[in-house]
Structure 1
Amino acid sequence: MESNVEQNLSLVTALVTSVLGLNPSLPFVFCEQVFRLYQLQSAAMRRRRAREMMARGRRLRQYLRRRRAFLLSSIAAVFSLSSSTGRSVWVRKRSQTFWAAAEDFDEEEWKSQFRLSRSTFDYLAELIGPAITRRRTTYREPIEPRRRLAIALWWYAKSGEYRTIAAMFGVGIATVCLIIRQVTAAIVDRLYPRFVRLPSGKRLEETIGGFRERCYPQCAGALGATHIPICTPKEHKEEPSDYINMRGWHSIILQAVVDHNVCFTDVYAGWPGCSHNSTVLAGSDLLLRAEDSPVGSLFPWEKSIMIDGVEVPVHLIGDASYPLKPWLMKGYSQHQLSPEQRRFTHTLTSARSVVDAAFTRLKGRWQCLQKKNDINHTMMARVVTACCVLHNICEMQGDSFFPEWNILVSPPGNSFRQPDVTAYDGGTYGNSELIRDSISDNLLSLLQY
């Protein structure tokens, strides 16, 4: 063995000296190092070649798998196009007895089920149809937009269980929950800016004239609040006790501005039920728009009226729970009132009755606002906003409100009684008292202006 190694070393020495032109009498140690280097380089080349062969085989196997998958998918596509049989394994067949019968309902039956006329339903379907339409896939046909809208409207109107609605419309229980969220988002995102906004231009003139017919001048809307029941919040970041109102049940607060036609012109929902109405107002965009306005009002200063040296702006009216501001008037609270002050307070309260009428119609038409629903309170705030938008659309479309719906707002033994109004105990702002006294003393003159 040693003779073979010496023979190889001698051969390497002779090869190196001949190739490099070196002296043949090199030391043996140098020749041994050259031989070892030659062995290492040869081993590295063999390993590199083995790795390249493995990579080439792996790429070949991947190519064959992709080609086989492509061929199989192509064959499946050809069979799916040429075959007329449906894939019953993908979708469970469900009965649509109610929805199939609903297409043949007369106008009265349709309205009793969905709380709006068929023409208004068609109008809504046209407005939000593109937002709730789902793409058709190879495996199943999507639920048509009209049925999606009908599912959401029936839940708003009846507030039934998901299982019941699923059986009526032939969909899954989870699908009902998903559709309600999708339709609610479409209504709030697409229709709220269009149908809920403070009056301006010609609408502002009509609103002021409408309240003048109610014997109150310079008014562009009435401000009020109501409590909507919710389930106990379960999020760790929320404190459930914050949502318990003075009546002892969990709720969120809906703050709204209502015009003379009992339509909402501003909606703000979601504050915990324990909050005072003035606190809700302080956190709303309504106050920010009024306070940050260059003229300190929600409406153009050109609409103001000068009376006895006092400029009376176009303003909102509220109850005793709100602060007195130049753009927000309320009645007198003290007991010893002059005849003019009593007349002013009575007139303001009478004009502000549009708020109670709007809330009554809202809850009577959409019964989901009268019970605790098994949805997150944040989502419930969006449901409330969507119902306000639908209320406005129904009023603008001339959909009549059935008298029997009023009975459902306060049924006998209803545990969700509204909390009593707590008066605001803060101070007044700016020249608000002077404006109120001027209106009180010159009420008849302002009505004839």
Structure 2
Amino acid sequence: MILQNDETYFNYMRMTPDMFEYLLSKVGPLITKMETNLRKPIPPDTRLAMTIRYLASGDGLHSISLNYRIGRSTATLIIRETCEAIWDCLSPEILFTPSENGWRKIALEFEKRWNFPNCIGAIDGKHVAIICPKKAGSTYYNYKQFHSIVILALVSATYKFLIVDIGAQGRHSDGGIFKNSAMGQRFYNNDMYLPAPSAISARHQVPYVIVADEAFQLNSFTMRPYPSKNLTFCQRIFNYRLSRSRIVSENTFAIWVNRWRILQRPLSTSLETSDAIIKATVCLHNLLINTSYYCGDNYADKVSANGQIMEGEWRSTYRNTDNYSNISHCSNNYSKHAGEIRNTFMDYFMNEGKVPWQEQSIQRNLL
């Protein structure tokens, strides 16, 4: 396979030969087994190739074990160990470490690409379908009527996972998942090293915020749309500008799911292995997102010269996938201070921060 052209290899492994060799150099030492007098161990390159193929193809463990002529239980153990090794090796350098300068760089990307100043990420949660664990009852049964675990992710303007929380039970509410997660606790406790509020124009000074949909509560660090009933024109403009920025979260999850097709069907492994699979694919997504193979111009949503969103190829398959869905809506209760911050952004988008195409977009949606 490696002797064939890069495109053929990529279609099989979801990465180029050079990237596979790089990944092997990082993970290999952790998955190399000692040789004994009884039998020779499976080499690390085979272990890694087996795992990557399992994640990329979506084939069952029985099929993978037959292809590599090993027992199913052995294949299961190898895949779990390799996924854990990928997470242990890559997550410290692949995922974001909160710092003031780091947040500022992310905010500059959002302002440049999506015209939303002081935005430090788009947050979203997705249900990953699983086979009901033994004796779990309705613990993992969600409102969409399938069993799932939730991945909650803060993503960048360039479709990278910044911070993730993995493994919440599907039955939990969205607000509870965020508030009880380590990520959410750090935001609520002001422990994310966010920069101080800064001016986005001569008249407007706002804190750094994350953008979210209706599944999250409005507060001083999270902006969500205005409720969809009886909106003023200015509120519709704000909702459009926020949704335009938040689209990166949909793109990120869609690219992730479509590339690592093991996620397109219910995971039939143990909860520990399922968590390891999700963690490994998150790291692999970030590792490969900058390669020309991984995120082509036609795959992700693009922004045209006049600011319009041109839908990518991922939507044709992702919209029809029942295993993944947005988590449920949150109540619209919020503090007066949070409402003032949202109103400040709205005023900015109607004046100094206005983009030429926003009114046409709103009027077109009203037709």
Same fold (TM over 0.5): yes
Structure 1 residue matching 2:168: 3-state secondary structure: strand
Distance 2:285 2:111 in 1: 24
Distance 1:217 1:231, change over 3 A: same
Partner residue in 2 for 1:218:
118
Shift of residue 411 of structure 1? 8.4
Match for 1:406: what amino acid? W
Distance 2:200 2:318 in 1: 44
Correspondence for 1:126 among 25, 37, 40: 25
Indicate yes or no: 2:270 matched with 1:376.
yes
Partner residue in 1 for 2:158:
261
Indicate yes or no: 2:337 matched with 1:431.
yes
Distance 1:411 1:304 in 2: 38
Distance 1:107 1:202, change over 3 A: farther
- For the 8 Å contact 1:215–1:447, the answer to whether it is kept is no
Match for 1:140: what amino acid? R
Correspondence for 1:138 among 33, 37, 62: 37
Partner residue in 1 for 2:250:
356
Distance 2:354 2:45 in 1: 48
Distance 2:46 2:193 in 1: 40
Distance 1:284 1:385, change over 3 A: same
Structure 2 residue matching 1:335: 3-state secondary structure: coil
Shift of residue 368 of structure 1? 1.1
Shift of residue 199 of structure 1? 5.6
- For the 8 Å contact 1:251–1:272, the answer to whether it is kept is yes
* CA deviations over 1:84-137 (Å, ceiling 9, x no partner): xxxxxxxxxxxxxxxxxx232321111111111112111111111111111122
* CA deviations over 1:5-33 (Å, ceiling 9, x no partner): xxxxxxxxxxxxxxxxxxxxxxxxxxxxx
Partner residue in 1 for 2:352:
445
* CA deviations over 1:175-204 (Å, ceiling 9, x no partner): 211110111111122211221125645543
Partner residue in 1 for 2:209:
315
- Higher RCO, 1 or 2 (CA under 8 Å, sep at least 6)? 2
Shift of residue 140 of structure 1? 2.5
- For the 8 Å contact 2:126–2:151, the answer to whether it is kept is yes
Match for 1:432: what amino acid? A
Shift of residue 305 of structure 1? 2.4
Distance 1:108 1:150, change over 3 A: same
**What percentage of residue pairs aligned between the two structures are identical?**
24
Shift of residue 381 of structure 1? 2.1
Distance 1:420 1:314, change over 3 A: closer
Distance 1:195 1:293 in 2: 23
Q: Radius of gyration: which is bigger?
A: 1
- For the 8 Å contact 1:231–1:377, the answer to whether it is kept is no
Indicate yes or no: 2:110 matched with 1:204.
no
Correspondence for 1:112 among 4, 11, 20: 11
Shift of residue 306 of structure 1? 7.1
Partner residue in 2 for 1:275:
172
Distance 2:7 2:253 in 1: 23
Stretches of structure 1 that go unaligned for 5 or more consecutive residues are: 1-101
Could you tell me the TM-score, scaled by structure 2's length?
Answer: 0.84
Correspondence for 1:177 among 55, 66, 76: 76
Shift of residue 353 of structure 1? 0.3
Distance 1:423 1:308, change over 3 A: farther
Aligned length: 339
Distance 2:281 2:354 in 1: 34
- For the 8 Å contact 2:218–2:332, the answer to whether it is kept is no
Partner residue in 2 for 1:49:
none
Structure 2 residue matching 1:243: 3-state secondary structure: coil
**Aligned runs of 1:228-307 on 2, under 5 Å?**
228-234=128-134, 236=135, 238=136, 240-293=137-190, 298-301=193-196, 304-305=198-199
Structure 2 residue matching 1:279: 3-state secondary structure: helix
Distance 1:134 1:200 in 2: 38
Correspondence for 1:406 among 314, 327, 339: 314
Distance 1:400 1:417, change over 3 A: closer
Stretches of structure 2 that go unaligned for 5 or more consecutive residues are: 300-312, 356-367
Distance 1:277 1:178 in 2: 32
Partner residue in 1 for 2:303:
none
Distance 1:189 1:145, change over 3 A: same
Structure 2 residue matching 1:220: 3-state secondary structure: strand
Distance 1:170 1:160, change over 3 A: same
Match for 1:273: what amino acid? G
**Aligned runs of 1:388-403 on 2, under 5 Å?**
388-401=282-295
Distance 1:447 1:143, change over 3 A: farther
Partner residue in 1 for 2:306:
none
